[in-house]
Amino acid sequence: MTDAALPQTAARGGAALPRLPQGARGVLSAALGLGLLGALWALGGWVIASTPSLAIFSDFAPGPTLERFWKMVVSGEAWAMAWPSLERVGGGLGLAILIGTPMGIVMGRSRWVREIANAPFQFLRMISPLSWMPIAVMAFATWDGAIVFLIFVATVWPVMFATAAGVRRIDPAWLKVARNLGARPLHMLTTVILPAVAQDIFTGIRLALGVAWVVLVPAEYLGVTSGLGYAINDARDTLDYARLGATVLVIGVIGYALDLICLFAIRRLSWLRSDEG
């Protein structure tokens, strides 16, 4: 066999190897990653249970935590504690979208607005959202209002800057063609700009949702008597570590599901259909 024939043979051999569909490969990869995470969790639980000084925390192990998690799901306790948190996240994130999206469009379209607003917005973005907690408590009459404000402060920046970056990437030829065809500003916004940056907006929302889900729990340490953060605090105070671990699991499952929904929306809006990685 000649050397020239070797690449062809290798190519034919490589093509003959079975290849899983992308969806199945993604499921198997996710299952493998979660399996490794579960193994580390079990190892940590074994170490804690084997250490006399840490034995009180043995309910963090997978067995007690998963048993309590299943009871919380079946009884409806998981949904009862999650619903108030979802309402607060929805309120704060909704305000961030309503304010951040148009502001991002203006920043992306206007150079002078971008130059003036960039420095103060970047300064405010770098302030920890939880540092606004004393101001939120004084400014709002209810604890729910204060928490929604904290989530808004945490999430408006990813939405705004992702939208502005998307607007700046729009091909100027599209806008020129729309103007030549007689498009008015409102029509150009709804038929050219928003469809062009929809993927960027949803990417910003996805990032903002992750930030909101992280800020939510410490924000609910305020005076509320419902929500996932309150449940975490209550389980800690009562030393019910199985319930604490199960609540953490509820937070992870819901957060992961919300992230998958955002990722699905981004892929549906993507113009790139050749992502095989």
* pLDDT tens-digit readout, 215-238: 998 888 877 888 898 898 888 888
| Structure tokens belonging to residue 151 | 């989530």
142 and 264 belong to one structural domain: yes
In a domain, 257, yes or no: yes
Residue where one domain finishes, among candidates 22, 54, 73:
73
Confidence of residue 205 (pLDDT cuts 50, 70, 90): very high
In this structure, of 52-56, 130-134, 233-237, 265-269, the range with the lowest mean pLDDT score is 52-56
8 A C-beta contact, residue 192 and residue 183: yes
Per-residue pLDDT of 118-133, as tens digits, reads: 899 999 999 888 889 8
Which pLDDT belongs to residue 49?
A: 72
Q: Is the dihedral of CA 267, 273, 276, 277 positive or negative?
A: negative
In a domain, 233, yes or no: yes
In a domain, 235, yes or no: yes
In a domain, 19, yes or no: no
Which pLDDT belongs to residue 277?
A: 41
Query: At a CB cut-off of 8 Å and minimum separation 6, what does 93 contact?
Result: 151, 152, 155, 205, 208, 209, 212
Q: What angle do CA 88, 94, 95 make, to 5 degrees?
A: 100
Residue where one domain finishes, among candidates 73, 94, 126:
73
Per cent of the chain over pLDDT 90 is 28
Q: What is the CATH number of the domain that holds 242?
A: 1.10.3720.10
102 and 162 belong to one structural domain: yes
Indicate if the pLDDT at residue 55 is higher than 50: yes
Residue where one domain finishes, among candidates 73, 93, 123:
73
Which pLDDT belongs to residue 270?
A: 66
Domain that holds residue 174: 76-269
In a domain, 28, yes or no: no
Indicate if the pLDDT at residue 54 is higher than 50: yes
120 and 232 belong to one structural domain: yes
68 and 191 belong to one structural domain: no
51 and 159 belong to one structural domain: no
Per cent of the chain over pLDDT 70 is 86
115 and 42 belong to one structural domain: no
232 and 108 belong to one structural domain: yes
8 A C-beta contact, residue 228 and residue 81: yes
Confidence of residue 149 (pLDDT cuts 50, 70, 90): very high
Count: domains in the chain? 2
In this structure, of 58-62, 83-87, 265-269, the range with the lowest mean pLDDT score is 58-62
Which pLDDT belongs to residue 59?
A: 67
In a domain, 154, yes or no: yes
Indicate if the pLDDT at residue 58 is higher than 80: no
In a domain, 25, yes or no: no
69 and 175 belong to one structural domain: no
In a domain, 26, yes or no: no
Helices (H), 127-227: 133-139, 143-168, 172-180, 185-188, 194-219
144 and 67 belong to one structural domain: no
On average, the pLDDT of the chain sits at 82
Which pLDDT belongs to residue 62?
A: 79
204 and 174 belong to one structural domain: yes
41 and 130 belong to one structural domain: no
156 and 202 belong to one structural domain: yes
